[in-house]
């Protein structure tokens, strides 16, 4: 019986090619994706729209609205009203946070931790 349980668990953890199945993203990973998008992917001088961030970060509107409000209140991104719509830019604090986040992510990954 125990052998079957081990086999089932192993099958659940591996896909057909033998690679590990990717887990859901953590809240921190989503924040990192949003900050990276506002830093790297915004070609418009007006900033990133909510729709653009939803598509790039692959997050629902309800969830991203809460996250954006939190990031604005923490000073990691700036919200600008442009033509009646909210646009977002990464702030200097957001850039510093993103560098620290990537540094810590690599450090944790070296120890097999997922943040």
Check: pTM over 0.85? Answer yes or no. Answer: no
Residue 22's pLDDT is: 53
Top-level class of domain 24-110: mainly alpha
* Close Cβ partners of 63 (under 8 Å, ≥ 6 residues apart): 30
d(CA 10, CA 19): 11
Residues 11-52: pLDDT tens digits?
444 444 444 445 688 899 999 999 999 998 777 777 899 999
Average pLDDT over residues 44-70: 92
What are the start-end ranges of the H helices in 1-115?
Answer: 2-13, 27-40, 50-57, 61-73, 92-110
Model confidence at 99: pLDDT above 60: yes
pLDDT band at 114 (very low <50, low <70, confident <90, very high): confident
Listed by start position, the domains of the chain span 24-110
Phi, psi values for residue 49, rounded to 5° = -80, 165
């Amino acid at each position: 019986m125990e052998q079957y349980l081990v086999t089932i668990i192993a099958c659940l953890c591996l896909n057909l090619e033998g690679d590990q199945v990717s887990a859901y993203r953590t809240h921190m990973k989503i924040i990192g994706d949003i900050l990276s998008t506002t830093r790297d992917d915004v070609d418009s001088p007006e900033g990133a729209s909510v729709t653009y961030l939803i598509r790039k970060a692959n997050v629902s509107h309800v969830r991203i609205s809460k996250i954006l409000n939190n990031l604005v209140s923490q000073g990691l991104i700036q919200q600008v009203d442009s033509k009646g719509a909210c646009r977002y830019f990464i702030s200097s604090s957001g850039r510093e946070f993103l560098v620290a986040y990537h540094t810590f992510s690599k450090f944790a990954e070296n120890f097999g931790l997922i943040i």
